[in-house]
């Protein structure tokens, strides 16, 4: 009786071992199948990458054979494009401008120092009727002052002094396009202006083209003295 009991225990033990081995084999087989699938995908991606490389090499060989495309002789030469705020003396210009806003009697000194070009929106009247019209800038007036830089054709733009910052100026006069104007509120009355950053325009062949908008900040001024301060 005891011998039969030992046999049953042994058979049960052997069965458990067999089950564990089968389980381990199943896990191994699934892992091998997953690895094979990943390997297949890797081969497919490698083939695709090799195809792209081959196409690139073919293009490169063709380019080296025929050479680069000829430049268009009628196209104007592209001048250097300075990074924003990289113009020499910009920070000094901003300080001097804001000093004149606070002390208007210094305006003549500003003119003498920078010799600004005065210009305006030539089609301002037409833009009152059709705000979708693009502004056309021309010399004259004085809404905008252009200050030359050492970079050819690049001009720093500041607003003229003593302007009324109303809807007319910002829309028809394009001040809201040349500058990002913070703090504007219709009907706010007297305002105190602060130049944060000049705009940049390209001036060539008597044409003005906005390159980089500037930034202005408007604050309410309760009195002329406050506006000056």
How many C-beta neighbours within 10 Å does residue 151 have?
A: 17
**Given this model, what pLDDT does residue 76 score?**
44
Per DSSP, the residues of 119-153 read: EEETTHHHHHH-TTSPP-EEESSSSEEEEE-SSTT
Give the containing element (helix H, strand E) for 194: strand 191-197
Whether pTM > 0.75 for this model: the answer is no
Residue range 91-101, pLDDT digits in tens: 999 999 999 99
Would 192 be classed as within a structural domain? yes
Domain count, the chain: 2
**Given this model, what pLDDT does residue 145 score?**
95
Query: Which tokens go with 206?
Result: 């008597």
> What is the mean predicted confidence (pLDDT) over 157-169?
91
Strand partners, 117: 146
Residue 29 shares a structural domain with residue 109: no
Q: Residue 49: which residues within 8 A CB-CB, separation 6 or more? A: none
Would 103 be classed as within a structural domain? yes
Residue 59 shares a structural domain with residue 94: no
How far is the C-alpha of 120 from the C-alpha of 173, rounded, in Å?
8
Does position 111 have pLDDT exceeding 90, yes or no?
A: yes
Would 210 be classed as within a structural domain? yes
Coil, strand, or helix at residue 6?
A: helix
How far is the C-alpha of 103 from the C-alpha of 7, rounded, in Å?
111
Domain containing residue 24? 1-69
Would 84 be classed as within a structural domain? no
Would 21 be classed as within a structural domain? yes
Residue 167 shares a structural domain with residue 222: yes
Residue 187 shares a structural domain with residue 224: yes
Would 200 be classed as within a structural domain? yes
Would 81 be classed as within a structural domain? no
Would 25 be classed as within a structural domain? yes
Residue 56 shares a structural domain with residue 108: no
Question: pLDDT confidence of 152, banded at 50, 70, 90?
Answer: confident
How far is the C-alpha of 168 from the C-alpha of 182, rounded, in Å?
16
Does position 134 have pLDDT exceeding 50, yes or no?
A: yes
How many C-beta neighbours within 10 Å does residue 146 have?
A: 22
Residue 101 shares a structural domain with residue 64: no
Residue 133 shares a structural domain with residue 215: yes
Residue 47 shares a structural domain with residue 136: no
Query: Which tokens go with 118?
Result: 């005065």
Q: What angle do CA 184, 118, 135 make, to 5 degrees?
A: 60
Residue 147 shares a structural domain with residue 101: yes
Residue range 46-93, pLDDT digits in tens: 766 666 677 766 666 665 555 444 544 454 444 444 444 456 688 999
Residue 185 shares a structural domain with residue 133: yes
Residue 147 shares a structural domain with residue 213: yes
Question: pLDDT confidence of 225, banded at 50, 70, 90?
Answer: very low
How far is the C-alpha of 216 from the C-alpha of 178, rounded, in Å?
10
**Given this model, what pLDDT does residue 83 score?**
44
**Greatest mean pLDDT range, 26-40, 66-80, 145-159:** 145-159
Residue 132 shares a structural domain with residue 50: no
Compute the mean pLDDT over every residue in the chain, rounded to the nearest whole number. 79
**Contact criterion met (CB below 8 Å) for 184 and 170:** yes
């Amino acid at each position: 009786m005891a011998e039969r009991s030992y046999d049953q225990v042994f058979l049960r033990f052997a069965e458990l071992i067999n089950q564990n081995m089968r389980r381990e084999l199943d896990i191994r087989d699934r892992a091998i199948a997953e690895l094979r699938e990943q390997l297949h995908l890797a081969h497919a991606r490698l083939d695709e990458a090799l195809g792209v490389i081959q196409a690139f090499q073919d293009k490169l060989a063709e380019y080296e054979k025929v050479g680069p495309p000829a430049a268009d002789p009628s196209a104007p030469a592209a001048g250097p494009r300075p990074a924003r705020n990289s113009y020499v003396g910009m920070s000094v210009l901003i300080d001097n401008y804001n000093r004149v806003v606070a002390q208007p009697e210094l305006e003549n000194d500003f003119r003498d120092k920078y010799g600004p070009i005065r210009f305006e929106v030539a089609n301002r009247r037409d833009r009152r009727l059709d705000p979708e019209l693009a502004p056309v800038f021309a010399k004259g007036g004085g809404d905008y002052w252009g200050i030359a830089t050492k970079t050819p054709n690049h001009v720093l733009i500041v607003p003229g002094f003593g302007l009324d910052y109303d809807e007319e100026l910002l829309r028809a006069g394009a001040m809201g396009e040349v500058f990002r104007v913070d703090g504007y509120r219709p009907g706010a009355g007297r305002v105190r202006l602060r130049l944060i950053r000049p705009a940049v325009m390209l001036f060539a062949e008597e044409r003005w083209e906005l390159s980089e908008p500037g930034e202005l900040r408007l604050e309410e001024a309760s009195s002329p003295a406050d506006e000056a301060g």
